[in-house]
């Protein structure tokens, strides 16, 4: 019996094509130019595709927004030994939010943090709070996002406080730092303001007779406020001379671990409002400004400067942009001249109909 009778005869062809076909799936070690060219082409295609997507997003933003938001700021250390204020200006963070629903065409984030007892809490909040917000950002169409935003902001503030206190207790002695926070998140044309402490925000809205009125977007979280004092007392703390235990000037904050069991809260109050054709700008500032300016004084002072026709365009900035920046600087300077002994940070967000 032929044991190999059922096996096919080996190929005997010497043709180059048949021989090469045996090794078609094996890369040629020394010839990498073709592979490199293909990889380079793929990278170029991917870059072009990303650029096209970014252009589409940018075009969508420009064509969708009804009101363009332009932020400006100034800060002064004043008489303090250390600058403990921080701020964040992010006009558009939509590209940092994965799988964002097409109905959400703008997400903006602006914030001022006023530290006390040190700069570590305000610095931590300025670096992390908006990132925690992005991690928790609601999914779905804009109506769902707006419905969930208050809950998301509360969770974001709690997360920031929790993570900072973890850092604070790693050292011996523990950090005693705390910070106020006034955060403004804009979803399309809807403004959400979340705040802790005595940094505040005010909206300038124009009336039919062209006069302007200040619309407070925040209220002060002071231990002297009845609801705040009651919460502190129920937790076992007390208020003396308008301060928690006669020391802490605010009743809500991020950080301040030693006061958390005494009723000092990290849960923000939150307001929501719609931008309108009558809105001119929003001012966010720490108490270094508000101790020397009422809301009405701030609006009046700002409008006088914005209407100053002697201030002209400069370099790449329009006359109005120069005036807005000038407002921030003059407000901060004036607060210091009025003997505000605190750090002063002023943010002005211009609202312009597109």
DSSP string, 169-185: TTSSSPP--EE-EEEEE
Phi-psi region of 342 (alpha: psi -120 to 50; beta: other; left: phi over 0): beta
| Whole-angstrom distance, CA of residue 44 vs CA of residue 94 | 24
| Whole-angstrom distance, CA of residue 23 vs CA of residue 41 | 25
Q: Does any domain span residue 13?
A: no
pLDDT value of residue 222: 97
**Which structure tokens are listed for 43?**
């990278």
Q: Does any domain span residue 31?
A: no
pLDDT value of residue 7: 47
Q: Count structural domains, the chain.
A: 1
| Whole-angstrom distance, CA of residue 90 vs CA of residue 183 | 11
Q: Does any domain span residue 9?
A: no
Which stretch of 197-201, 277-281, 310-314, 321-325 has the lowest confidence by average pLDDT? Answer: 310-314
| Whole-angstrom distance, CA of residue 79 vs CA of residue 292 | 15
Q: Does any domain span residue 10?
A: no
**Which structure tokens are listed for 257?**
């671990």
Q: Does any domain span residue 3?
A: no
Asked if residues 271 and 215 have their Cβ atoms less than 8 Å apart, the reply is no
Asked if residues 263 and 252 have their Cβ atoms less than 8 Å apart, the reply is no
pLDDT value of residue 16: 45
| Whole-angstrom distance, CA of residue 68 vs CA of residue 176 | 40
Is the confidence at residue 181, as pLDDT, over 80? yes
Chain-centre distance for alpha carbon 179:
16
| Whole-angstrom distance, CA of residue 54 vs CA of residue 282 | 29
Locate tokens 């900072």: which residue?
164
**Which structure tokens are listed for 244?**
């928690």
Asked if residues 61 and 92 have their Cβ atoms less than 8 Å apart, the reply is yes
pLDDT value of residue 63: 62
Q: What is the pLDDT of residues 211-227, one digit of tens each?
A: 999 999 999 999 999 99
Q: What is the pLDDT of residues 14-50, one digit of tens each?
A: 444 444 444 444 444 455 555 666 666 666 666 666 5
pLDDT value of residue 310: 83
Q: Give 4's pLDDT tier (boundaries 50, 70, 90).
A: very low
Q: Does any domain span residue 23?
A: no
Write out the residue range of the structural domain in which residue 272 sits.
Answer: 45-353
**Which structure tokens are listed for 222?**
């002071």
Q: Does any domain span residue 6?
A: no
CA atoms within 13 A on the CB side of 92: 20
Asked if residues 53 and 61 have their Cβ atoms less than 8 Å apart, the reply is no
Asked if residues 94 and 349 have their Cβ atoms less than 8 Å apart, the reply is no
Asked if residues 115 and 196 have their Cβ atoms less than 8 Å apart, the reply is no
| Whole-angstrom distance, CA of residue 117 vs CA of residue 18 | 81
Choose among 188, 171, 197: nearest CA to 60.
188
Q: Does any domain span residue 229?
A: yes
pLDDT value of residue 157: 98
Task: Give the CATH number of the domain where residue 296 resides.
Answer: 3.60.40.10
pLDDT value of residue 171: 87
Locate tokens 């701030």: which residue?
298
Q: Which residues contact 141 (CB under 8 A, 6 or more apart)?
A: 101, 103, 104
| Whole-angstrom distance, CA of residue 125 vs CA of residue 113 | 7
Tell me how many helices (H) and strands (E) the chain has: 8, 14
Torsion of the alpha carbons at 164, 165, 169 and 171, rounded to the nearest 10: 20
Locate tokens 């062209």: which residue?
210
Asked if residues 329 and 54 have their Cβ atoms less than 8 Å apart, the reply is no
**Mean per-residue pLDDT over the chain, rounded:** 88
What mean pLDDT do residues 58-65 have? 62
| Whole-angstrom distance, CA of residue 153 vs CA of residue 137 | 9
The neighbouring-strand residues paired with 69 are: 351
Q: What percentage of residues in the chain have a pLDDT greater than 70?
A: 82
Pick the residue with more confidence: 33 or 127? 127
What mean pLDDT do residues 238-267 have? 97
């Amino acid at each position: 019996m032929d044991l190999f009778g059922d096996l096919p005869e080996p190929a005997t062809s010497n043709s180059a094509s048949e021989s090469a076909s045996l090794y078609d799936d094996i890369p040629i070690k020394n010839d990498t130019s073709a592979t490199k060219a293909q990889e380079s082409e793929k990278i170029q295609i991917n870059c072009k595709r990303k650029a096209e997507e970014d252009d589409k997003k940018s075009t969508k933003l420009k064509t969708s927004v009804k009101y363009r938001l332009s932020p400006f700021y100034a800060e002064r250390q004043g008489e303090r030994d250390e600058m403990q204020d921080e701020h964040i200006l992010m006009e558009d963070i939509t590209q940092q939010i994965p799988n964002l629903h097409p109905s959400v065409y703008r997400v903006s984030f602006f914030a001022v943090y006023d530290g006390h007892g040190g700069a570590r809490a305000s610095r931590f909040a300025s670096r992390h709070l908006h990132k925690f917000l992005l991690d928790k950002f609601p999914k779905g169409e804009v109506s769902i996002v707006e419905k969930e935003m208050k809950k998301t902001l509360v969770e974001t503030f709690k997360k920031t406080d929790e993570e900072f206190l973890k850092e604070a207790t790693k050292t011996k002695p523990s950090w005693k730092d705390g910070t106020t926070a006034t955060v403004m998140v804009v979803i399309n044309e809807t403004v959400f303001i979340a705040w802790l402490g005595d940094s505040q925000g005010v909206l300038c809205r124009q009336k039919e007779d062209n006069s302007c009125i200040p619309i407070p977007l925040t209220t002060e979280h002071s231990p002297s406020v009845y609801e705040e004092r009651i919460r502190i007392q129920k937790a076992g703390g007390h208020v003396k001379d308008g301060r928690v235990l006669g020391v802490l000037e605010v009743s809500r904050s991020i950080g301040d671990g030693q006061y958390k069991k005494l009723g000092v809260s990290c849960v923000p109050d939150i307001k929501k409002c719609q931008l309108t054709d009558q809105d001119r700008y929003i001012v966010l500032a720490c108490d270094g400004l508000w101790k020397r300016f009422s809301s009405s004084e701030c609006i009046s002072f700002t409008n006088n400067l914005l209407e100053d026709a002697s201030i002209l365009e400069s370099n790449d900035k329009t006359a109005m942009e120069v005036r807005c920046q000038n407002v921030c600087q003059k407000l901060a300077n004036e607060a210091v001249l009025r003997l505000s002994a605190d750090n002063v940070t002023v943010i002005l967000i211009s609202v312009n109909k597109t």
